[in-house]
Chains A and B, each alone.
Chain A
Amino acid sequence: MFQPNFGTEILYSVVILAICLIIYFEVNKFFKLTDYKGIGYFQNTFLFFAVAYFFRFLAKPVVRSIFGIRMYYFNIIILLVFIYASCTAVFYLVYSLVWKKFGKINGEILIHIIAVIIALFVFLTGNVLLFIFVNIVLLIYAFVVVSLERKNRKFKMYLIYLLLVIFSILNIVDLLVPDFIFGLQLWIYIFSIVVFLGLLYRVLKEVK
């Protein structure tokens, strides 16, 4: 059975982090030009994914043991930031698709409040079900909204978004309940990279 070692972890994290940051800065070119809210929320998705994957890397036991990160409070902060950033990234992704439905309500504040609540809940109870449940509900909501509007909007990306959220959930499960997907980590890493690369390809193709 494959067990990710330090080399695998650092390679995986660096690749995902680099992809997220490239997407963020490429999309930022359009955002700076337009101030279009949807583009802003979309670029924030990848900023928070970058933060999440960075803290996920720090939170991995194999990494902590190598860097000698043993301080209890430090580990708590790493884990909390990881869960919070993962939630926020997924929320921003969904919000970028449905923000027009919110009218004048500032959904961004809600995103951060809910993400903090979920991070605290998951951390304090050790139960990732709430995180998975909220993500799935949001995904279904976004899917319904997008499906209803498909007649009016050209929309090709939903499958990639779906995979992005699924792998985001699996990455959290991998960290908090490693036994649940024991032996499958390598496949999760490979497919995550493929999904992020797919998105990067689309972004680079469109932003040029």
Chain B
Amino acid sequence: MKRSRLEIIRDILKIIQERKNKIKPTPLLRYSNLSSQRFSQYVKELLKKGFIWAGEEKGRKFFSLTEKGSTYLEKYRDIIGFVEDFGL
């Protein structure tokens, strides 16, 4: 079944959270089950919205969740419930 935009964002953030809040771009792409083009779009969006931040360690890039990203994960069920109950 096709995932919605909200679900994809939840999945990406959850993957980062489950990898001790630090993951390199390549495994994140692999676990997120997206094409590289869509993955780049989502990562760009998440960085822009401040859900994740990109750091560098020993010359290698990694992504981590921000507080806003954690809030999204916490609120995800409520958001989906709201969208479904109000028919949006």
A interface residues (Cβ-Cβ under 8 A, vs B): 30, 33-36, 38-39, 41-42, 96-97, 146, 153-158, 202, 206-208
B interface residues (Cβ-Cβ under 8 A, vs A): 5-6, 9, 49, 68, 71-72, 75, 78-79, 81-88
Q: Which of B49, B81, B88 makes the CB contact (< 8 A) with A39? A: B88
Q: Contact: A157 with B49, CB < 8 Å? A: no
Closest B residue to A158 by CB, please name it: B87
B82 to chain A minimum Cβ distance, whole angstroms, is 5
> A157 and B85 in contact (CB under 8 A), knowing A33-B71, A34-B6, A36-B6?
yes
B65 to chain A minimum Cβ distance, whole angstroms, is 14
Q: Which of A30, A146, A154 makes the CB contact (< 8 A) with B84? A: A154
Cα A157 to Cα B87 in complex, Å, equals 7
Cα A36 to Cα B49 in complex, Å, equals 13
A44 to chain B minimum Cβ distance, whole angstroms, is 12
CB contacts (< 8 Å) of A158 on chain B: these are: 87
B5 to chain A minimum Cβ distance, whole angstroms, is 8
By CB atoms of chain A within 10 A, which of B6, B9, B84, B85 has the most?
Answer: B85
> A153 and B79 in contact (CB under 8 A), knowing A33-B71, A33-B72, A34-B6?
no
Cα A96 to Cα B83 in complex, Å, equals 10
Q: What are 28 A-B pairs at a CB distance below 8 A? A: A30-B75, A30-B78, A33-B68, A33-B71, A33-B75, A34-B6, A34-B72, A34-B79, A36-B5, A36-B88, A38-B83, A38-B88, A39-B88, A41-B88, A42-B88, A96-B87, A96-B88, A153-B84, A153-B87, A154-B84, A154-B85, A155-B84, A155-B85, A202-B85, A202-B86, A206-B78, A206-B81, A206-B86
